[in-house]
Structure 1
């Protein structure tokens, strides 16, 4: 699982409607080759900032590759999560944003980690700055120019998805209203995505439910027994008086 956790992967803004288009093509039964072709046509005149205009072949290809890797052809270890997420999406289209968040977090842990740093700061203050978040990301990934540039793309993606709002000050963000997750099965899928995003592939249930990377959402109360009954890919280990550890099965 190491390579996925060390790489950044997201080299431009990924808009929510692009993710939705990809899933709709997948649900329509198109094969990977046809989906790739359709996405190239769909993105031919769509830019990351939401405006219309001609894009270079390179930037369009980067976006298509991201979308394909998230939903159409993720790594083999992510396929069970992808299939379960797709099945859930088929029956619960109104909760698409949360499902997309889970998949992109699992495939690109860099997204999850930008979200985690953003959520941590928002728990302490009303507004966060781009530079605060980037500073924390450099502590984790190293002081590389690419970290700064690509973290900005993820933050702009958050704004495009509507989970962050631009403040009156440039490079400063405010939290948007949270989305309540009421379906326990969806909550478990998102917990699984968090385990996939973690190099150690495990975490304490209580902390996962309150992980700052899920700052746009509010989860229901979930017990380890419920997780065990509804997801065979996650093992629940109890220790201490009331702690429950979740870990991905080998």
Structure 2
């Protein structure tokens, strides 16, 4: 696995329509150089709220680094990205959110971990706070200001994407209604993203299905046999009586 597990990387609140814009350019056949040039112009007029206005070059440069998880992923993620692009090509843009979630999670495990801690808290309570999420992340990454700052950008992205909503109390959030997913191949894509986000590249199927990092979604039940038949990148290993382990084939 690459060193991406050691980087935080979420240095900017990411708007979903920025991600949509990138995918539309890719589907139109633009190459990386053309996409970067277009984003440079597009993001320079985007405000965090989704409106327009002047922004600093450094600020939108940070945004491009996250958006690049689609158009310029690390080498080992190119086949994964290509598969995601092939699937999203036939999907209505209003349903693109889980594809973005998968692609960013694979490229930025920190994003996935913020989502996981957020989902775990929602399993325990109806409202959560930034402080609670930060506290859990610091146990994993250490008590660094950069951890809280990057986590704050990730959480604000969750709000911008409509999977969290601000409560009446500042720094406190409620979960939005989960998005139902019925497409098996999209579910497998999310599972594969979770495996890339894991340093060991493997996880029990039951734990993947109930992974709190997927709190924005309701996923269908898939058997290990079905996943093995559909995926060229995931091996399914049986252990115990009824347990199944999913692992990336290149590990």
Matches within 5 A, 1:151-190: 151-190=151-190
User: Does structure 2 retain, via aligned residues, the 8 Å contact 1:12–1:48?
Assistant: no
SS at match of 1:8: coil
Matches within 5 A, 1:79-94: 79-93=78-92, 94=94
User: Does structure 1 retain, via aligned residues, the 8 Å contact 2:114–2:151?
Assistant: yes
User: Does structure 2 retain, via aligned residues, the 8 Å contact 1:14–1:157?
Assistant: yes
User: Aligned equivalents of 1:145 and 1:53: distance in 2?
Assistant: 29
Over residues 64-90 of structure 1, what are the superposed CA-to-partner deviations in whole Å (9 max), with x where a residue is unaligned?
A: 12212x101101111111011001000
SS at match of 2:247: strand
Question: How far apart are residue 41 of structure 1 and its match?
Answer: 1.0
Q: Which residue of 1 aligns with 2:134?
A: 134
Question: How far apart are residue 60 of structure 1 and its match?
Answer: 1.3
Over residues 115-168 of structure 1, what are the superposed CA-to-partner deviations in whole Å (9 max), with x where a residue is unaligned?
A: 000000001000000000011111111100000111000000000000001000
Question: How far apart are residue 106 of structure 1 and its match?
Answer: 0.4
User: Aligned equivalents of 2:249 and 2:48: distance in 1?
Assistant: 37
User: Does structure 1 retain, via aligned residues, the 8 Å contact 2:66–2:104?
Assistant: no
SS at match of 2:111: helix
Q: Which residue of 1 aligns with 2:217?
A: 217
Q: Which residue of 1 aligns with 2:29?
A: 29
Q: Which residue of 2 aligns with 1:239?
A: 239
SS at match of 1:237: strand
Over residues 174-209 of structure 1, what are the superposed CA-to-partner deviations in whole Å (9 max), with x where a residue is unaligned?
A: 000000110111100000000000001000001101
User: Aligned equivalents of 1:104 and 1:91: distance in 2?
Assistant: 20
User: Aligned equivalents of 2:84 and 2:247: distance in 1?
Assistant: 19
User: Aligned equivalents of 1:201 and 1:135: distance in 2?
Assistant: 25
Unaligned runs of 5+ in 1: none
User: Does structure 2 retain, via aligned residues, the 8 Å contact 1:13–1:49?
Assistant: no
Matches within 5 A, 1:24-173: 24-68=24-68, 70-93=69-92, 94-173=94-173
Question: How far apart are residue 50 of structure 1 and its match?
Answer: 2.5
User: Does structure 1 retain, via aligned residues, the 8 Å contact 2:9–2:108?
Assistant: yes
Pair 1:179–1:101, CA change in 2 (3 A): same
Unaligned runs of 5+ in 2: none
TM-score, normalised by the number of residues in structure 2: 0.97
Question: How far apart are residue 2 of structure 1 and its match?
Answer: 4.5
User: Aligned equivalents of 2:128 and 2:49: distance in 1?
Assistant: 21
User: Aligned equivalents of 1:119 and 1:139: distance in 2?
Assistant: 16
SS at match of 2:244: strand
User: Aligned equivalents of 1:138 and 1:2: distance in 2?
Assistant: 22
